[in-house]
Amino acid sequence: MCGLSGIVAYDPGEFTFTALAGTPLREIRAALAGRGQYLPFDPPLAESGATIGGTVAAGLSGPGRFRFGGVRDFILAVQFADGAGQLLRGGAKVVKNAAGFDIPKFMVGSCGRFGVLVEVTFKVFPAPESWLTLRIPCANATEAATRIGQGASSRWELDALDYVHEQACLFARLGGPAGANAALAEEIKQAWPGAAILADAEASSVWSSLRDFAWAHEDGALAKIPITLAALDPLATAIAKIDGARGHFSSAGNVAFISLPEAAQTTRLDAGLRALGLRALILRGIAAPARLGISDEPAIAENIRAVFDPANRFAPLA
């Protein structure tokens, strides 16, 4: 779909843009930054060439999802080709719209099962005046989960709160006026002894690495696992039993990204996920199955697929 590239419309005053599905994220980010705006859900893999359509199809959000929501919360409209080759539209190119079935949200994470995305419309936000990041050491995943719970329910309004298992630390990001960020950072340091403010260059490197999965194995498999905070410690324990596995827990313990050195190790991960009642989508790893863990897709998803693709041209995920 990379041939369908380009921003079709951008209205900074209305905080919306429309782009063809193959438009690179970095092109969109640059256009928004030029007007002091951004996509708050921190779309990953922008520097690796990811497109806006691929981001929607994979349902992939970055660390910023914690405060403002993910892809599903910012998409307004879609145009797509169904199984019969017809161009259909869903949603509306305005922020306030409550008419009709919310097709755009069903396209998020659909992996092409309902149709081929052609065009998408998103709402955007004003970018914060400044950012500040703290590194908070954690003795183990149990302590990390406790601190995530504290941070998520605090008055700090953290922009992002991610736990990197191999580094045994949390990264907390603040976005807002520089003075307010500094004051909140001092409060956090008092609440969490050992917390340290990162220099801007180091902080930028940390979040770039997390967004673009630079921490993950280049080969092997990369899995996205929806979780709750209660599952963070058990899942961290499970992946510790897999040789070379690496874990990044994002959005205050609402999603985990697990990297395995070899695709063959997905069998071990699959067993661990089933034991915990979790499921995973494989984002990278040609030799790996598309899904791991439990499978209980809602009936409505199959009903929608039957409407848009009655001839079954878009095969469901294996």
pLDDT in tens, 239-268: 999 999 999 999 999 999 999 999 889 999
User: pLDDT of 253-308, one tens digit each?
Assistant: 999 999 999 988 999 999 999 999 999 999 988 777 888 999 877 777 778 888 88
How would residue 316 be classed by pLDDT, with cut points 50, 70 and 90?
low
Please say if the pLDDT value at position 163 is more than 70: yes
| Cα Rg of the chain (Å, integer) | 20
Burial of 257 by CB count in 10 Å (0-12 exposed, 13-18 middle, 19+ buried)? buried
Structural tokens at position 77: 């409209």
> 152-157, long-range: CB within 8 Å, 24+ apart, which pairs?
152/66, 152/229, 152/252, 152/253, 154/191, 156/184, 156/187, 156/188, 157/67
Sorting pLDDT into bands at 50, 70 and 90, what band is 318? low
pLDDT band at 312 (very low <50, low <70, confident <90, very high): confident
**Domains in the chain, please, with CATH?**
7-126 (3.30.465.10), 130-211 (3.30.70), 221-293 (3.30.70)
Place 128 in a pLDDT band, splitting at 50, 70 and 90: very high
pLDDT in tens, 82-97: 888 899 998 777 666 5
| Residue carrying structure tokens 């992002």 | 160
pTM: 0.90
Model pLDDT, residue 306: 82
